Structure 1
């Protein structure tokens, strides 16, 4: 990392090693937890009937492993935040020092829209053109992660009109790829395009998570620390919820929470889904969370959600999804595709 001095570089390396070790430990502990839980399930009847002491011992083992995993998650999150902060500093310095093409958003890009306030996607300004070429050039050196690196710019930079071009370029370039990292990139690109493309996004995102192994997940963290299992599974749950596929939404939200125990956003996501799926289960869910000491800092927020659920329960609330009114702007999509195709030669 040529921009940092030796001490800073060594510190980042140390954090990365600690993160790797934390990940490995969590994987190992999860395996132990699965083994203990299996033993509990397979032998529950025998243990209850013949040896209460052993039964209590198994229960205690499960509780200990869950606490160990929770503590490691917190430690892991701290490492990720530190690495992300330093990596962002590095990226900023690198851009300013080593690249002649600025990726800062200019007034030209902010105001490059039609008179009715919408972007004109049939034309690309010089500044937009320079940015797009820069992003492609910067991503090409990432090998099999190039597509993911490219779409990541749209997740972490406010790119205005250029965002839409990058999303479409990623889709056109990688939609037929056999590389699982490209599936994730295309899924994120479709998600960025909005409600009309949720099904396409779900196709690619679920294809990725059903195939990726732990090594694959660790590799994508080199692109963005927020592209972890918790966040990707949460995005899938969000998409399914918006598509009113509540069973799948619930399953993916539950899975997300396994990867980051006691995450506030994950807890609220599950509550939101349960409110639509079964209002009675939603009430019981929030009552349980309200008494959990690990959520004491957001107790008022949980109370608010519980009160809302109780009011709906009184009215025998049944969720009925609204019909989607939005339609695809064919002219805009054709313009985006035409422009995107022009940039494929830069790969």
Structure 2
């Protein structure tokens, strides 16, 4: 694989855009006409997954280059039994993470380059033994070395509308109305064992994965994953409670298998409940969140939360989200390779109206 440079994921080789664009329309034409597995390659599958992963970041159909959206590609390819959507998804996710702060135009350019590399000739029948060396090498190098990191976000579903909630977009002034559903998405840089906890608006801690029915005693044996979506069914979600408050999703993950003792002991390592966010104390300016590594309180949009008692004193921040993350991080430090999460406020419109 070429080094990442100013010209995109594939260096100089994306420049023959006319060839790439002709190939894309050729692929689209294959999509629009009856096909058999013999005319589909690994390249088609990976291009389709890159469309889907990119669209999940930028919004539906933003990378609809030639009139065919990512959902159509996915539905079409998943009907072909000779191709593994799971393998394609893993590799597509890895490729996406090689892009440095991708923008829409840059992703479009890289997609065209990918089509140029993956479909240079007439498609051949899928053959696992002829898995493209480029992707095989990229997958093996990326998933076996380096620190464990995660892309962890949620999808809110309310009144037929869907929108994403990400750690770097924590809501402070805005809120999410209760009565909706939340779906959790996780993408890891290498295979690991994940645990997911949820802190409700009233401060109660609920086990989500791999436990059954939010029961601490119902933990299931789980395997290493690189991607996880909960609940599994796309039309389902975890209901948001009707109370007003700060909701927090926590991801705990380890490269090595998590022992049953640690799983059973988690309730003892966390408080029975978290306080009402309105009563939390301030934290120091520049305090780095152990849960959201890239987030610094001094860079956050805190409105009127900053104050100094005397000139020269450290700036203090009444940061409710930071306070909760600090508490979680301090209690679980050293237990897992990764502790990550995000928070957002939920309101009950009926309760707010009465107030």
TM-score normalised to the size of structure 1? 0.27
TM-score normalised to the size of structure 2? 0.27
Which of the pair is proportionally richer in strand? 2
Higher RCO by CA contacts (8 Å cutoff, separation 6 or greater): 2
